[in-house]
Structure 1
């Protein structure tokens, strides 16, 4: 038995004042069968045994004022495991899953250490309990000192994929102990604040654990999801309590209980994105000082147990957040909140440019032609442009003042007739670049709009195919590379694009997710060209070059997944190849035979990692 969170629904299982802004200290008494263990919010004080009645009584005490919405409990046949590196943390699971639990939660203490160092504040509670249960309707639920997880998150050390997802969810649940449980929202419209801060902390740990490229990929994926939702359904208004907001849709958003599940999910995602934008707006150091200020005031408030007037620091609201930012930074964020928090929607920009040789300038035109579409609003404000020229990357901060704005950007480079040259990139490195494909009169290699994703936006940029190819080959930012791949399949008749995609797939210096996307882009190009391009043989040859046996490339080598990036590329390449089609819309015979041979020669006998997900990918490939 366990409680699950549906906003402020604690009143459904015990009588209480079920409001986020009503806190108190708690003494919780749970009586259960002697074979069971009861886990609840707070610190375990005592366990009484009644031998005659075959009962056990658990006493929990929570000294920090907490709202009823953040109180939870679990009762079941669990095995407790104290974390070896942090004794305040206790894990619970079913006895048969103990080995998986040890592999799953081994890095929990590192998450606490990272948050405490980042926020310059100790974990606010004296204990933390992680319980893994069956039939949980979500991946996790966070209560004060207690997080309940689905057993589907448990994995052995031999599983690769689940480790990424589970680590992120564990980090999110611990972040919500700080912002969500210790500092709770004051009301439903303020939920964006604690959700956004907790998401920001979790993604920041994810960046530390898995790298900046993986983090930026997650940000782009989150932004694409929010934009797709807002264009398909409705704008997501983070704080609808503002006096300028009026309800216009089929369900109200001022109360959790009227939200759709999908809206609730996208609200969490957008809250994180807006908090990340605020980091770019204020600066990382100042934003962390604001978080520290909020936690420090809350720590002081809990010491005054008999003076509840100071407990308002335990509740986060948009108003208190504005005050904290003003106090710490001296900055005014009213315009930012009006654009991104008090109204819903995102920005959709269409850009095109031409180079004027005489003036040595780029005429850039930014158009907002989708303003009246669902989820899109007019943006007026600063916009960052990066111009990659022959002499380096130059950043320009433009001001958007109308739906159609034109800007003259002066180039710092002169066009050169020589075909090869060392080009300095934004990272500071210089690379040899073949310039034979570019316009001989222009020094512009490529242009990027809002490369740091300072806006919640969709960008449609019109530039020649050779500039997209240069951006894919030589730009070091994975967002730029992914944007290029999303465009290049439209130029399928150009043979150099097919060669570029093949080079990206085989380039070990390219981030693995970009190489995976390149495989699917090459599939699209091959299907559009049809019989004019031998896509099946090209991709089979590439696969055998990367993963074929050294003695006989026609046979795939024994599985060795110690190189994670090559493992993910291998899976993606198999699924991409399965989507190849002839002019008649059927799978080529050589591809089908190739996939069946993969099953036949798959050998995982000497691999320390499981091939369960790999075999699942091969089955998905056959189902394409």
Structure 2
């Protein structure tokens, strides 16, 4: 939301926060906060604006002596007021944007307005601080603070009581009064009084813990001397176990009592990541202490605050887990990187958030590259780029910084600069509280890619120097106490970051920032080429898909350098093309001469030389394969057209795993024996990266299926997936009996999980799984033995259940209305159900880590339902979706119910899901459920086009509208989720099912009166300067007209008639009107002539009724269409007139 320069006439230098009455059972707290404000000029100001939501404010005092009056005004409590009937998503977005601007701290606004009493005005002196003290309380808050309080029923509870704060970006206003802006930093003193058995963890250094005289309560005193913004202050209270890192005493970990052994295992990864960042950035950790708290029912996986990180307890694991280790280590690395760029160096405003997002994730990516390898890092970059491209092509381009348009110097010469694209989304982009959470997630990934692109342009060392300079300036500023003018160095902005790059490197990156930060979209290339034998060149043609078509949504025209790599017989040669037109053509000179059908060692880009069989290549061409943008230096999607033998060479011999995965996916379009052989060679290659080999598992299954469907014999070449699995994991004497599990070789472990799933996707000519596949999977269950394995096999068994689900094919004929029993099921279905039931029963007795087997079993049951083998019922999933089940189990069950709702449209399923959205205590579950419904909506209907669905009703519209309009006003993320769902179901305009709603004036419906002052948009704000209380907005509603009346048409007819009378030479009288009005005029005239003719006929036949007939002929100023007008009120039907539908 806007502002580079704050309009606030004072600066915050220090804040004291004291919470004394924290009660976890009653979910209440009592607090006091004191803000030390320093006026920045001699100008007098009378109003202090603070942010405060859902707090009950009792008293406000200035310097402990002067009690001040205050006014609470929160327009976000109810975005659209005065019984808004239109229910339009567009109007909601506009009203939501206006409401947030009225309380935006960067615009010197807020929910709490404090009037400085006249007797205290002498305290307002430039550079002399004064204090504002506020007494407040919170009772059962529904946002900002989450209480995990088990129900007290006399029985022992598994979950201990705990409390922690959370928020969607800047949401500290939900639990204490503050200036809730990332740009307003200050020092802090924090005091928290809790029960004797509890521990309070907050930001800063723990100064002391003082017990009360009765020893029943204790107070924790924290001091945060590093200037910190209010959104980066947090608190966690609970009966935590404390674990201090034995080698880095400044790092302290907190968890619930039963989880201490798991915490000790995970804690070593923090130490490892901290040391890595200190070495990489050349700077010590920015805080003198660091605390990590693992809580249950976390709002999001990672919540970073100043010297404090609140993480989900689900990241904890023991040494026997393999899969979770990668996830946890990467999450911990991201948590620490956010301490540098998010908590310590904060953003100037929302438009600069891409910098803190991108730099933190970039540093996390460097950790992955260091400890997991370059292949894993490049795979991670590839997945992020695919996610960004997919989102932008579906919804529109993402602008990282929409605050300013690109400069006209982006492209030299006659090429026009890109124009700022209008907002294509259904939500405003100028506030994090209005944008979709999915948009924020993809924006974070795009920001990471932009920072990496910057590294490729200025170099890794130069970029590290830029980061180091930012940290050095911020560290120096943080040491200057009460130097508010120096604290601006702790804020980062797009303009300041660009200047820092120029200062450190001497390179001007303004053009790059304009091209990729201020302009939305990505590049979309299609490349074709032919080899010219006479000139020994490759004639290349690049086409960019840009325009207004659906295929070009989210794309932009890229102009600049583009690298194309040719792998020739004599090595890899890179060519840099300058893209200046569309399509772009270029001739690339080859450095090699063709050698017909000769084996030779081919040098690769890594310097390695490999033997290749060149018999399959074109004898006239020295080109083995071609790649576009091999370094992923652009955000783009590439479609390369080259023959299948070149894809095969690229898959087998390229050393870049991104190129290998691209080749494997491309070869799925060429189902031949040679393709099958090439994929098989990579699959069995022990030197290949495990992600490439798992990709080949599924690629080989798809190619095999297409060969079988086409009736072609597979032949003896290549390997089958089943035989390869048995060769790796089968016993020596009997291959179908699997050896005891041994997961010491991690590559084989991931293959052992992927191969059964890929085998299960194989099909016969009749599109059913072969019988031997089912027997193979059954034997895997039967002979699975993990007794001598030091790792758990839970994820492996879950993959076997997933494989069972993949064997299911749609039934040929669905049995409708028949009773399903075990006898009516097929043998394969019965075997699957037996394995699923056995797994679920065993899980209840001996639950595995994170209940991964239960999750896989539920998905397998749903797949049986989806394909018609079981009746589509939700009863099984209801119990697994209730609160109290493990998080992953709940989400899996909810996803199954959402799928059933999409297919069966049952009202009870919709009611169940909406009840969870409205009342579930876990905010993360509510968020995930709504995102599922957005991805798989039960119906879709655009405005004016009914969906003819039984779920599409006015009651559902009102329920969803009530949720996003007022009921969830304290959870900005969930409110935006509901808004996305509302737009998905009904579009941006008024839902078509609201056909009985009263009609509105086309100009003033659902809008506040234009005569009212702009400061009173919501009709409840008190203007302190004028002393005027605004009246409620006036709305003109045509309530007395019949339902079929079109108000716009009525107004148009009357306006035409009045124009004809007042000005006979007007365009309306001469027929020079737009198509709509001239059509209405013609209809009006023809109906009038017709009525006159009928009246003349009647007057001739009935002369005795002549007087009555004459009385019917009214002057033209009257409404002949059957309506009489009254300037003092709405339009009403005229007496004795015909209906307007008959006249039009």
* TM-score band, normalised by shorter chain: over 0.9
The whole-number CA distance in structure 2 between the counterparts of 1:533 and 1:400 is 46
Matched, 1:572 2:758: no
1:75 pairs with one of 237, 240, 243: 237
1:295 pairs with one of 463, 467, 471: 471
3-state secondary structure, aligned to 1:403: coil
1:120 pairs with one of 282, 288, 296: 282
Range that drifts further, 350-359 or 245-254: 245-254
Aligned to 2:987: none
Aligned to 1:603: 785
Shift of residue 586, structure 1, vs aligned partner: 1.3
Matched, 1:465 2:641: no
Aligned to 1:476: 655
Matched, 1:279 2:475: no
Shift of residue 51, structure 1, vs aligned partner: 5.5
1:199 pairs with one of 357, 361, 383: 361
Aligned to 1:266: 442
Task: Please give the residue correspondences for 1:110-509 in structure 2 after superposition, counting only pairs within 5 Å.
Answer: 110-243=272-405, 245=420, 246-372=422-548, 373-492=552-671, 494-509=672-687
2:194 pairs with one of 19, 26, 32: 32
Shift of residue 569, structure 1, vs aligned partner: 1.1
Shift of residue 371, structure 1, vs aligned partner: 4.1
Task: Please tell me whether the aligned partners of residues 506 and 546 of structure 1 are also in contact (alpha carbons under 8 angstroms).
Answer: no
Shift of residue 370, structure 1, vs aligned partner: 4.0
The whole-number CA distance in structure 1 between the counterparts of 2:349 and 2:546 is 34
3-state secondary structure, aligned to 1:106: helix
Range that drifts further, 537-546 or 323-332: 537-546
Task: Please tell me whether the aligned partners of residues 786 and 793 of structure 2 are also in contact (alpha carbons under 8 angstroms).
Answer: yes
Summarize deviations over 1:158-195 as a string: whole Å, max 9, x none: 00001101111100010010000110011000000011
3-state secondary structure, aligned to 2:743: coil
The whole-number CA distance in structure 2 between the counterparts of 1:374 and 1:358 is 40
3-state secondary structure, aligned to 2:433: helix
2:689 pairs with one of 511, 525, 528: 511
The whole-number CA distance in structure 2 between the counterparts of 1:607 and 1:26 is 51
Shift of residue 269, structure 1, vs aligned partner: 0.9
Range that drifts further, 390-399 or 361-370: 361-370
The whole-number CA distance in structure 2 between the counterparts of 1:282 and 1:121 is 21
1:532 pairs with one of 706, 709, 712: 712
Task: Please tell me whether the aligned partners of residues 317 and 324 of structure 2 are also in contact (alpha carbons under 8 angstroms).
Answer: yes
Range that drifts further, 335-344 or 238-247: 238-247
3-state secondary structure, aligned to 2:758: helix
> How many residues align structurally?
623
Task: Please tell me whether the aligned partners of residues 568 and 625 of structure 2 are also in contact (alpha carbons under 8 angstroms).
Answer: yes
Aligned to 2:799: 617
Summarize deviations over 1:231-280 as a string: whole Å, max 9, x none: 11121111111146443431011111001111111111111111111100
Matched, 1:542 2:724: yes
The whole-number CA distance in structure 2 between the counterparts of 1:595 and 1:344 is 48
Summarize deviations over 1:495-541 as a string: whole Å, max 9, x none: 01111111111100100000000001111111212253559992111
3-state secondary structure, aligned to 1:472: helix
Task: Please tell me whether the aligned partners of residues 242 and 255 of structure 2 are also in contact (alpha carbons under 8 angstroms).
Answer: yes
Task: Please tell me whether the aligned partners of residues 294 and 311 of structure 2 are also in contact (alpha carbons under 8 angstroms).
Answer: yes
> Could you say if the C-alpha distance between residues 158 and 441 of structure 1 is closer, same or farther in structure 2, counting changes exceeding 3 Å?
same
3-state secondary structure, aligned to 1:519: helix
Task: Please tell me whether the aligned partners of residues 248 and 271 of structure 2 are also in contact (alpha carbons under 8 angstroms).
Answer: yes
The whole-number CA distance in structure 1 between the counterparts of 2:395 and 2:489 is 36
Larger Rg: 2
Shift of residue 117, structure 1, vs aligned partner: 0.7
Shift of residue 338, structure 1, vs aligned partner: 1.2
Aligned to 2:210: 48
Gaps of 5+ in 1: none
Matched, 1:59 2:241: no
2:775 pairs with one of 590, 593, 602: 593
The whole-number CA distance in structure 1 between the counterparts of 2:485 and 2:291 is 30
The whole-number CA distance in structure 2 between the counterparts of 1:212 and 1:562 is 22
The whole-number CA distance in structure 1 between the counterparts of 2:787 and 2:482 is 65
3-state secondary structure, aligned to 2:615: coil
Shift of residue 105, structure 1, vs aligned partner: 2.0
Aligned to 2:822: none
The whole-number CA distance in structure 2 between the counterparts of 1:378 and 1:141 is 37
Shift of residue 107, structure 1, vs aligned partner: 2.0
> Could you say if the C-alpha distance between residues 241 and 564 of structure 1 is closer, same or farther in structure 2, counting changes exceeding 3 Å?
same
Task: Please tell me whether the aligned partners of residues 575 and 620 of structure 1 are also in contact (alpha carbons under 8 angstroms).
Answer: yes
Task: Please tell me whether the aligned partners of residues 526 and 533 of structure 1 are also in contact (alpha carbons under 8 angstroms).
Answer: no
The whole-number CA distance in structure 2 between the counterparts of 1:159 and 1:303 is 43
3-state secondary structure, aligned to 1:592: helix
The whole-number CA distance in structure 1 between the counterparts of 2:174 and 2:464 is 37
Shift of residue 5, structure 1, vs aligned partner: 2.9
Task: Please tell me whether the aligned partners of residues 396 and 424 of structure 2 are also in contact (alpha carbons under 8 angstroms).
Answer: no
Task: Please tell me whether the aligned partners of residues 42 and 60 of structure 1 are also in contact (alpha carbons under 8 angstroms).
Answer: yes
3-state secondary structure, aligned to 1:167: helix
Summarize deviations over 1:400-432 as a string: whole Å, max 9, x none: 111101100000000112421111111111111
The whole-number CA distance in structure 2 between the counterparts of 1:329 and 1:473 is 40
Shift of residue 110, structure 1, vs aligned partner: 1.3
Shift of residue 20, structure 1, vs aligned partner: 0.8
The whole-number CA distance in structure 1 between the counterparts of 2:757 and 2:518 is 43
The whole-number CA distance in structure 1 between the counterparts of 2:713 and 2:691 is 25
The whole-number CA distance in structure 2 between the counterparts of 1:173 and 1:93 is 16
Task: Please tell me whether the aligned partners of residues 352 and 461 of structure 1 are also in contact (alpha carbons under 8 angstroms).
Answer: yes
Task: Please tell me whether the aligned partners of residues 673 and 714 of structure 2 are also in contact (alpha carbons under 8 angstroms).
Answer: no
3-state secondary structure, aligned to 1:490: coil
3-state secondary structure, aligned to 1:409: strand
The whole-number CA distance in structure 1 between the counterparts of 2:547 and 2:292 is 46
> Could you say if the C-alpha distance between residues 555 and 534 of structure 1 is closer, same or farther in structure 2, counting changes exceeding 3 Å?
farther
Summarize deviations over 1:424-460 as a string: whole Å, max 9, x none: 1111111110000000000000000000000000000
Aligned to 1:582: 764
Give me the CA root mean square deviation. 1.3
The whole-number CA distance in structure 2 between the counterparts of 1:503 and 1:545 is 15
The whole-number CA distance in structure 1 between the counterparts of 2:280 and 2:510 is 27
The whole-number CA distance in structure 2 between the counterparts of 1:520 and 1:407 is 36
Matched, 1:18 2:180: yes
Shift of residue 55, structure 1, vs aligned partner: 1.0
The whole-number CA distance in structure 1 between the counterparts of 2:673 and 2:714 is 12
TM-score by length of 1: 0.98
